Amino acid sequence: MKKIERVCAITHILTEHPNRDYSLGTFAEAFGCARSSISEDIKLIRRSIEEGGLGYLETTAGVKGGVRYVPYITDAEAAKVLGGLKAAFEEPERVLGSGFLYTSDILFSPELAKGAARIFARHFASAEAEMVVTVETKGIGVALFTAELLDLPLAVLRRESRVSEGSTVSINYFSGSADRIQQMSLSKRAMKPGTRCIIIDDIMRGGGSIKGIEDMLAEFDASAVGIGVVVVAGGTGGKKIGNYLPLLLMSEDADKKLRMDINPELMAKGQRA
Amino acid sequence: MKKIERVCAITHILTEHPNRDYSLGTFAEAFGCARSSISEDIKLIRRSIEEGGLGYLETTAGVKGGVRYVPYITDAEAAKVLGGLKAAFEEPERVLGSGFLYTSDILFSPELAKGAARIFARHFASAEAEMVVTVETKGIGVALFTAELLDLPLAVLRRESRVSEGSTVSINYFSGSADRIQQMSLSKRAMKPGTRCIIIDDIMRGGGSIKGIEDMLAEFDASAVGIGVVVVAGGTGGKKIGNYLPLLLMSEDADKKLRMDINPELMAKGQRA
């Protein structure tokens, strides 16, 4: 196999398996060549991938030396994703009579949900999280892609406890948007004590449901090391939780017209926040 | 930029965006070289990717000629994925007292859910579907990855109709596993008349919930062009629906021990079913 074909094959394998460690020895064996050749290949692939702005390679040196592809987006790519999300959420036909927005198609669009997940994955890459957590239903897409990009498992809190969850922990919380007490539950099998979690949700109004997830994590002796929400409504202050990362800020202008702004914090970040 | 770096960059871009069409002209412009060079690169990339068994390239000739990466798995890769799923579902500690299985962690594992999705995407690649459909909650992961791999939107039927769905269509159906009438609803905005859909669900017992999804599609003048379920329980016959593709067949052996078998049909398929 020629060098160029090997480089192509390795690029493909790494890209298909984000955040998975491959030892140089594995590739050397698979392609029947010296470790030193693979090492040269990786240098070239790293340069090429990093110029594209979709990700970068992390390598560890030494006998057990390996490589992993970390999906990433540059500021320029992130701006494009955020612009696409903003444009989608701002479509006037989404506004429902009740002041709510129809968003299911956005949140389950593989392209838009994965775009949002890329930004969360970039932001929380160094949080040393062990699990991604969300509550059903509309945040599941973004949460799952975030988990995939960070190579972590995902736990989904349920609104009702189901027989197929086995014994569960349930908590009650006040949902401002539903204006009533709601319940969420999680299987006792879902999480080990001490787990470091990233919480992902689709839309935050008062912060009640994310506060609920935090309370649930406390029941498992687990903790939130990052909180990401796609949209925050009604300003970023006065919420039930403190430190969270919204992508879009939803407000109404003087004419009561819906307005979506890209979180300015996101644009001020360096390339490897 | 050297040829080898260009090949690496193009491989990376195609792999990151499955099923998206790229014109050769776009690459020629981006990399400042002739279309004929890109055309040579694509030939090489195609060979290299196809040998790896994770996907293949589809090209169209002519002035508007383009290329897309179609994720794929060979029979050997599919067997590995199915073996992994079988082993996960067979872990004895999953069996709950009630005869149900705890499966949330499998179905929301990015790796296992994406593996299952690869097999569905391969099977339904030529169904000319326009949308993937599931009902909340545990099938969403596999359905979303299937949608991503086929570059289709995903619609998620809800168990309750929610204010943020706008006006909805609701249907009642009999769930054998819950032994009662249940409801599912879908926003009127979610689907255009005539949409060709692939239905994905996690587990099928009597087939009631998939029959319910089919009834819902009929309400939208839409149709199912493929049905995939991760696990079918209690034999493949005597269900409320006919033509569906299970990955695993769940049964009990003489000692009432849980048994999972890989659907033998899947293994008999050619490499590009």
Backbone angles phi, psi at B107, to 5 degrees: -70, -20
Q: Which candidate, A123, A144, A141, places its Cα nearest to that of A132?
A: A144
Q: Percent of chain B at pLDDT above 90?
A: 68
Asked whether residue A63 falls in the same domain as residue A189, the answer is: no
A197–chain B nearest CA distance, Å: 15
Residue A127's CB is within 10 A of a number of other CB atoms, namely 14
pLDDT number for residue B74? 81
Mutate to test the interface with B, among A20, A108, A185, A201 (most CBs of B within 10 A): A108
Query: Is there a domain that residue B273 lies in?
Result: no
Asked whether residue A14 falls in the same domain as residue A142, the answer is: no
A55: chain B residues, CB-CB within 8 Å: 12, 16
pLDDT number for residue B88? 97
The answer to whether residue A181 scores a pLDDT higher than 70 is yes
Per-residue pLDDT tens over the stretch A88-124: 999 989 988 777 899 999 999 999 999 999 999 999 9
Query: Is there a domain that residue B169 lies in?
Result: yes
A4: chain B residues, CB-CB within 8 Å: 3-4, 7, 44
pTM of the model: 0.89
Query: Is there a domain that residue A273 lies in?
Result: no
pLDDT number for residue B273? 36
Residues B148, B132: Cα–Cα separation, whole Å: 10
Residue B117's CB is within 10 A of a number of other CB atoms, namely 26
In the DSSP assignment, the letter for residue A243 is S
- Residue of chain A nearest B52, judged by CA positions: A9
Burial class (CB in 10 A: 0-12, 13-18, 19+), B271: middle
Mutate to test the interface with A, among B104, B136, B204 (most CBs of A within 10 A): B104
Of A105, A110, A153, the CB nearest to B148: A110
Q: CB under 8 Å to A215, separation ≥6 — which residues?
A: A171, A173
- Residue of chain A nearest B153, judged by CA positions: A109
A26: chain B residues, CB-CB within 8 Å: none
Asked whether residue A137 falls in the same domain as residue A202, the answer is: yes
Burial class (CB in 10 A: 0-12, 13-18, 19+), B172: exposed
B116: chain A residues, CB-CB within 8 Å: none
Asked whether residue A92 falls in the same domain as residue A109, the answer is: yes
Grade residue A271 by pLDDT with cuts at 50, 70 and 90. very low
Asked whether residue B104 falls in the same domain as residue B61, the answer is: no
Specify the amino acid at residue B103: T
B147–chain A nearest CA distance, Å: 7
pLDDT number for residue A98? 72
> Of B71, B87, B109, which residue constitutes the final position of a domain?
B71
CB pair distance less than 8 Å for B52 and A13: yes
Residues A250, B71: Cα–Cα separation, whole Å: 37
Asked whether residue B66 falls in the same domain as residue B84, the answer is: no
CB pair distance less than 8 Å for A100 and B12: no
Specify the amino acid at residue B196: R
In the DSSP assignment, the letter for residue B257 is -
Q: A22: domain range?
A: 3-71
CB pair distance less than 8 Å for A144 and B48: no
Asked whether residue A213 falls in the same domain as residue A110, the answer is: yes
Asked whether residue B47 falls in the same domain as residue B90, the answer is: no
Query: Is there a domain that residue A156 lies in?
Result: yes
B93: left (phi over 0), alpha (psi -120 to 50) or beta: alpha
Residues B250, B230: Cα–Cα separation, whole Å: 10
Grade residue A270 by pLDDT with cuts at 50, 70 and 90. very low
- Residue of chain B nearest A1, judged by CA positions: B48
CB pair distance less than 8 Å for A164 and B113: no
Query: Is there a domain that residue A63 lies in?
Result: yes
> Of B71, B102, B126, which residue constitutes the final position of a domain?
B71
In the DSSP assignment, the letter for residue A188 is T
A58–chain B nearest CA distance, Å: 16
Asked whether residue A48 falls in the same domain as residue A80, the answer is: no
What number is the average pLDDT over the span A35-52?
A: 93
Asked whether residue B130 falls in the same domain as residue B252, the answer is: yes
pLDDT digit of tens for each residue in chain B (273 aa)? 789 999 999 999 999 988 888 999 999 999 999 999 999 999 999 999 988 878 899 987 776 779 999 888 888 889 999 999 999 999 989 988 777 899 999 999 999 999 999 999 989 988 999 999 999 999 999 999 999 999 999 999 999 878 889 999 999 998 877 788 999 999 999 999 999 999 999 999 999 999 999 999 999 999 999 999 999 998 888 888 889 999 999 998 888 788 999 999 887 654 343
Higher pLDDT, A17 or B109: B109
- Structure tokens belonging to residue B107: 């179905």
Residues B112, B204: Cα–Cα separation, whole Å: 18
CATH number of the domain to which A192 belongs: 3.40.50.2020
Of A45, A54, A108, the CB nearest to B8: A45
Residues A227, A224: Cα–Cα separation, whole Å: 7
Query: Is there a domain that residue A201 lies in?
Result: yes
SS3 A240: coil
CB pair distance less than 8 Å for A164 and B189: no
Per-residue pLDDT tens over the stretch A220-269: 999 999 999 999 998 888 888 889 999 999 998 888 788 999 999 887 65
Q: CB under 8 Å to A170, separation ≥6 — which residues?
A: A161, A183, A184, A185
H or E element that contains A120: helix A110-123
What number is the average pLDDT over the span A71-75?
A: 82
Domain count, chain A: 2
Of B98, B103, B105, the CB nearest to A153: B105
CATH number of the domain to which A45 belongs: 1.10.10.10
Q: Which candidate, B155, B101, B151, places its Cα nearest to that of A166?
A: B101
> Of B30, B56, B71, which residue constitutes the final position of a domain?
B71
Per-residue pLDDT tens over the stretch B33-87: 999 999 999 999 999 998 887 889 998 777 677 999 988 888 888 999 999 999 9
DSSP sequence for A199-233: EEEEEESSSHHHHHHHHHHHHTT-EEEEEEEEEEE
Mutate to test the interface with A, among B108, B109, B203, B204 (most CBs of A within 10 A): B108
Asked whether residue B127 falls in the same domain as residue B181, the answer is: yes
What's the whole-number average pLDDT of chain A? 91
Asked whether residue B56 falls in the same domain as residue B97, the answer is: no
Mutate to test the interface with A, among B7, B8, B157 (most CBs of A within 10 A): B8
Q: CB under 8 Å to B173, separation ≥6 — which residues?
A: B181, B182, B183, B184, B208, B209, B211, B212, B215
A7: chain B residues, CB-CB within 8 Å: 4, 7-8
Higher pLDDT, A209 or A20: A209
pLDDT number for residue B174? 87
Per-residue pLDDT tens over the stretch A124-167: 988 999 999 999 999 999 999 999 999 999 999 999 878 889 99
Residue A75's CB is within 10 A of a number of other CB atoms, namely 16
CB pair distance less than 8 Å for B164 and A102: yes
pLDDT number for residue B252? 84
pLDDT number for residue B268? 62
Residues B124, B130: Cα–Cα separation, whole Å: 11
Q: Which candidate, A210, A84, A61, A196, places its Cα nearest to that of A135?
A: A210
